[in-house]
Amino acid sequence: MEYLNIALAKGRIANKAIKVLEKYGIAFLDYDNSRKLIFEDKSSKIRIILVKADDVPVYVESGAADIGIVGKDTILESDCNVYEIMDLGFGKCSFVVAALEGFNYKIGKKIRVATKYPKVAKEYFNSKREIVEIIKLNGSVELAPIVGLSDVIVDIVETGTTLKENGLVILESICNISSRLIANKISFKSKSKEIKQLTDYFRRMRDESSIC
């Protein structure tokens, strides 16, 4: 039997997913404190690969991984060609537009938007027929309005603490985000039994809300 390859976003998502898999009886003994990027469970024929969140859709779409766990934010930004088979219910947060307290839109003036998610931001403002200039940043987006780099930011927010500490307030909410299970379109059919078993398990765990 072939291995089922799962791509996980390094960090919180991977830790959570591995904890859930452990309860399923799949143990990656050397996971803790290891700097390895590939782990296998020989008995269940499951292999996990740890990649950067942005790369999970790349691995899954190309078939380098059969399934993957990644935030909806990354899926929206990448516009990947995969099946999105389940909302795993963890990693909940939302996409918002935020600005410095007291900020007002000026009519007729282009809004400068700093974000790690240029595609999401552009589509959102386009759909509202608002004309914007996108500034792509790779982190610490909250800084942009403070130093005058942008008028607003588009970012994901979990509790809002970071925004608050930097004097920013939420202007608009774009959509909710959570971790999703995605599948390669061909693997989904050719390894349907294995994927279905795992999906059913994740669904049970989610519905018992033991992983939320």
Partner 1 sequence: MEGLYEIIPEGVEDLFYLDYEKKEFAIKKVKDIFKSYGYRSISTPSFEYYDLFYNMDIITDRDEMFKIIDENGKILVLRPDMTIPIARIAALNFKNNTLKLSYVSNVYRRNVKGIGYLKKEFTQAGIEYFGRVDADSDAEVMAVGIKSLIKCGINDITVEIGHVGFIKGLLYTNILSKALYEKIRKSIETKNYYELEKLLNECDIPSDYKKVLLSIINLYGKPEEVILKAEKLILNKEMENSINNLNKIYEVLKHYGYEKFISFDLGLINHMNYYTGAVFKMYVNSHRKEVISGGRYDTLTQKFGRYIPATGFGLNIDEIMEVISMDNNIFKTDYILVYNDETRDDAINLASKLRDNDFIVETEFEEEKDIVKNRQAKEIVYILKDKFKVNNMENGAVYICNEDKFIEHALSKNVITPIH
CB of 85 to partner 1, least distance (A): 6
Partners of residue 88 on adjacent β-strands? none
Closest to partner 1 by CB, 25 or 63? 63
CB of 51 to partner 1, least distance (A): 13
Closest to partner 1 by CB, 112 or 203? 203
Closest to partner 1 by CB, 104 or 127? 127
DSSP assignment of the chain: -PPEEEEEETTHHHHHHHHHHHHTT---TT-TT---SEEEETTTTEEEEEE-GGGHHHHHHHTSSSEEEEEHHHHHHHT--SEEEEE-S-S-EEEEEEEETT--PPTTSPEEEEES-HHHHHHHHHHTT--EEEEE-SS-TTHHHHTTS-SEEEEEESSSHHHHHTTEEEEEEEEEE-EEEEE-TTHHHHTHHHHHHHHHHHHHHHHTTTT-
CB of 87 to partner 1, least distance (A): 4
Q: Quick one: tokens of 29?
A: 């003994």
CA 125 to chain centre: 21
Closest to partner 1 by CB, 40 or 123? 123
CB of 25 to partner 1, least distance (A): 26
Closest to partner 1 by CB, 115 or 184? 184
Residues of this chain that bind partner 1 (CB under 8 A): 57-58, 61-63, 78-87, 183-190, 192
CB of 153 to partner 1, least distance (A): 25
